[in-house]
A and B are shown apart, each in its own frame.
Chain A
Amino acid sequence: EPEVTQTPSHQVTQMGQEVILRCVPISNHLYFYWYRQILGQKVEFLVSFYNNEISEKSEIFDDQFSVERPDGSNFTLKIRSTKLEDSAMYFCASSVSRGRDQPQHFGDGTRLSIL
C-alpha cells in the first residue's frame, strides 16, 4: 500500500540553525499538509499546499517557516533560525483531494529536537 515517507526520522539541531524536513507524498495525491505535535499535546495544523502554492496556513506558520515542492515528488518544510519551542514531531500528510470525505494519510513523522 502506498504511503507517505518522511526523512529524517529524527533531527537534532542547534538553536538558530536552519532545518529542512522532507516528505514524499503518495504519488497520486494532490494536497499536501504539514502538522506538528509538541510532546504530549494535540496535533496542530501548520500549512496546506496545492498546485504549487500555499492554500491555507495557521497562525503558527509565520515567516520562520516556508514550504516548497522542489520537484515532482518531494515536499519540504524549512524552518529558519530554529528556536527551542520548535522542538516537536512534524507530520507530513497528503490526500487525493480536499473533499470532506478524503482522509489525510500521514507519514511516520520527523522528531525535531532543538538544543
Chain B
Amino acid sequence: AQKITQTQPGMFVQEKEAVTLDCTYDTSDQSYGLFWYKQPSSGEMIFLIYQGSYDEQNATEGRYSLNFQKARKSANLVISASQLGDSAMYFCAMGAGRRALTFGSGTRLQVQP
C-alpha cells in the first residue's frame, strides 16, 4: 500500500520569499513517481512538477523545485520568490506502476504581501 503524508495543514509566506512544503511517503515499490499539484480556490488541479524514484537530479520547473531525499522518503516542494498567485492548496501525490495516484491531505499556502 502507498501512503502520502503532508504534515502542514497551512503555511504562510511573505511575498518574494521561498517556502518549502513537506511531503513524506511510504511505499514498498522500487519504482515510483512523485507529483505535486496546485489547487487554487477555483477548484481545478494543476500539475506542477514530477520526480521519478530513479532520477538522480532533483526536478525543477521554473520557480518550483522538488527536494527529493529517497533515503528519508521525502519529496518536498520548494517555491522560490513566492507570488500572491501562489496562494492555493498544494497536494503531493504518488504513482507507481499500474496504480492510480495516491494523494496527501494537502497544504494550504497563503502568500502575504
Contact = CB atoms under 8 A, between A and B. Distances in A.
B100 A109 contact: no
Interface residues of B, number: 28
B50 A103 contact: yes
Contacts of A104: 35, 47, 95, 101
B31 interface: yes
Contacts of B104: 42
Contacts of B96: 100
Interface of B: 31-33, 35, 37, 42-47, 50, 52-53, 91, 93, 95-106
Interface string A71-111: 00000000000000000010101000010111111111101
Given A56-B100, A100-B31, A106-B46, 8 more contacts: A43-B101, A44-B103, A55-B98, A91-B45, A98-B98, A101-B33, A105-B47, A107-B44
